[in-house]
């Protein structure tokens, strides 16, 4: 009897220690996420100082123009929408071990079709129907575009890092070709699609310029987070990512899963483009190269695919991007700081991983 009692207390104590372990792990992973950020700011500040600029006033301007000022804050929220959607797609691909680095091409392909279709459909449909159609089309076009690397990977084992990157270049050229040859607006001098009338754009919120695309972005990130952790499909994807041989052994259909991973992940990039075109841009020019996708990659990794952290990092990134533009102009330096900081962030992340690996070897 007392032995039994002992055993249950031991089990209870073990559970408590497991929970404690989990909490310290969360704390530690937050810390490991913040250290690269701080490191990037410090080195970035040093560089500014070397250039003879005051880093404190630079960072102050960044915060002021990206977050505190109302116009800047609106711009930040607007920029966040497509970034969140692209991140949602990467939160599917990366844990599943698929390096989809072609979101830029997928974004452009989805975007160019949506841009052509929007003004076409706007006179006939309105509001909800129009936007859902555009969203579905953006998603579908990008998904179909991604079937190329997906099939190359699933049937021929061709590495997707190279194929997706290559397809971004092809996608950019191809969309430019489409605009110049078929989609161009005859009434303008520059080759661009017809413009989606401001009245037909996505509804705005809080009597600001911020459109409902932001909500779509939040919902997508949270839904993907939930899907990856709580559904059978999400678990299958994670198993494929962690140990593909075990997935095969367990009888999972690798070809179907690979296609699903590519198309979903690309689809969100296409949706991001649809949201941005229906929400802000309203038009696509022939020489359009938004190049937003690759910037999201390190953020998603830094956030370890966790919705709350993804949202936080993307918000911080958008603040920095928007505020950085103004701050650079004020400090009279080229607008390279954002990219430079992302680069530093990557270096510090890699360093952090290395340190963690070493310390885990010690314990």
Partner 1 sequence: MVLANELTPSVELIGITKTYPGVVANSDIHLTLRPGEVHSLLGENGAGKSTLIGILSGMVQPDAGEIRIKGETVRINSPRDALERGIGTVYQHSLLVPTLTVLDNLLLGVDQGWKLGRDAAKARLQEVSTLLDVEIDPSSVVGDLALGQRQQVEIVRALWRGEGVLILDEPTSMLTPQGAEKLVQVVRRLVSNGLAVVFITHKLNEALDLGDRVTVLRRGKIVGEVTPAELQNRSRAQITDEVLKMIFGEKSDASYAAFASQVSETADETFRVDHLSVEGSGPHPVLDNVSFTLKRGEILGIAGIDGNGQKELAEVLAGQRHADSGEIILDDQSIQNLSIAARQAKGIRYVTDDRHGEGTVGPLSIALNIVLKRVGEVPFWRWSLVRHSSIREFARKLIHDHDVRAPHEEVAISTLSGGNMQKVILARELALEPRVVVYNKPTYGLDARTTSLVLASIADQAKAGVTTVFISTELSEIVSICHRVAVMYRGKLSEPIMVRSGIELKLGALMTGSTTL
Instruction: Give contact residues for partner 1 (rule: CB under 8 A).
Output: 11, 14-15, 17-18, 21, 230-233, 235-236, 238-239, 242-243, 245-246, 248-253, 361-363
**Shortest Å distance, C-beta 234 to partner 1:** 9
Residue closer to partner 1 (CB basis): 114 or 240: 240
> Half-sphere exposure (CA, 13 Å, Cβ side) for 246?
9
Residue closer to partner 1 (CB basis): 196 or 261: 261
Give dist(CA 15, CA 327) in Å, integer.
Answer: 50
Give, rounded to a whole angstrom, the gap between the first and last alpha carbons of the chain.
37
Residue keyed to tokens 């900081």: 341
**What is the DSSP annotation of 277-332?**
IIIII---BTT-----HHHHHHHHHHTTT-HHHHHHHHHHHHHHHHHHHHHHHHHT
**Shortest Å distance, C-beta 85 to partner 1:** 23
**Shortest Å distance, C-beta 11 to partner 1:** 7
Contact assessment for residue 102 and residue 267, using Cβ atoms and an 8 Å cutoff: no
**Shortest Å distance, C-beta 145 to partner 1:** 27
Quote the tokens at residue 354.
């290395």
Distance of CA 178 to the CA centre of its chain: 26
Residue closer to partner 1 (CB basis): 14 or 287: 14
Beta carbons within 8 Å of 339's beta carbon, 6+ residues apart: none
**Shortest Å distance, C-beta 22 to partner 1:** 10
**Shortest Å distance, C-beta 97 to partner 1:** 12
Q: Which DSSP symbol is given to 67?
A: I
Residue closer to partner 1 (CB basis): 198 or 232: 232
Residue closer to partner 1 (CB basis): 17 or 335: 17
Residue closer to partner 1 (CB basis): 37 or 252: 252
């Amino acid at each position: 009897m007392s032995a039994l009692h002992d055993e249950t207390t031991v089990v209870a104590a073990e559970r408590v220690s497991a929970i404690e372990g989990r909490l310290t792990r969360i704390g530690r992973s937050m810390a490991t996420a913040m250290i690269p950020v701080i490191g990037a700011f410090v080195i970035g500040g040093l560089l500014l100082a070397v250039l003879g600029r005051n880093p404190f006033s630079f960072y102050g301007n960044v915060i002021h123009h990206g977050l505190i000022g109302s116009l800047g804050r609106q711009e930040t929220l607007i920029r966040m929408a497509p970034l969140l959607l692209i991140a949602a797609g990467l939160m599917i691909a990366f844990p599943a071990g698929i390096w989809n680095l072609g979101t830029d091409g997928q974004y452009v392909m989805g975007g160019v079709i949506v841009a052509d279709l929007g003004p076409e459909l706007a006179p006939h449909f309105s509001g909800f129907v129009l936007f859902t159609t555009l969203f579905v089309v953006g998603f579908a076009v990008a998904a179909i575009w991604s079937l190329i690397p997906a099939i190359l990977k699933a049937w021929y084992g061709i590495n997707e890092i190279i194929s997706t990157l290559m397809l971004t270049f092809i996608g950019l050229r191809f969309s430019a070709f489409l605009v110049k040859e078929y989609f161009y607006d005859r009434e303008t001098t520059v080759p661009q699609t017809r413009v989606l009338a401001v009245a037909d754009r996505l509804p705005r919120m809080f009597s600001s310029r911020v459109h409902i695309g932001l909500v779509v972005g939040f919902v997508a990130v949270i839904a993907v987070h939930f899907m990856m952790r709580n559904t059978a499909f999400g678990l299958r994807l994670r198993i494929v990512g962690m140990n593909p041989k075990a997935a095969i052994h367990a009888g999972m259909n690798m070809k179907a899963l690979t296609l699903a991973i590519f198309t979903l992940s690309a689809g969100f990039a296409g949706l991001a483009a649809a949201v941005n075109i229906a929400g802000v841009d309203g038009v696509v020019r022939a020489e359009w190269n938004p190049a937003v996708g690759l910037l999201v990659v390190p953020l998603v990794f830094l956030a370890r695919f966790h919705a709350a952290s993804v949202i936080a990092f993307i918000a911080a990134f958008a603040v920095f991007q928007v505020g950085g533009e103004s701050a650079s102009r004020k400090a009279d330096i080229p607008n390279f700081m954002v990219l430079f900081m992302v680069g530093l962030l990557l270096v510090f992340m890699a360093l952090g991983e290395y340190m963690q690996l070493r310390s885990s070897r010690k314990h």
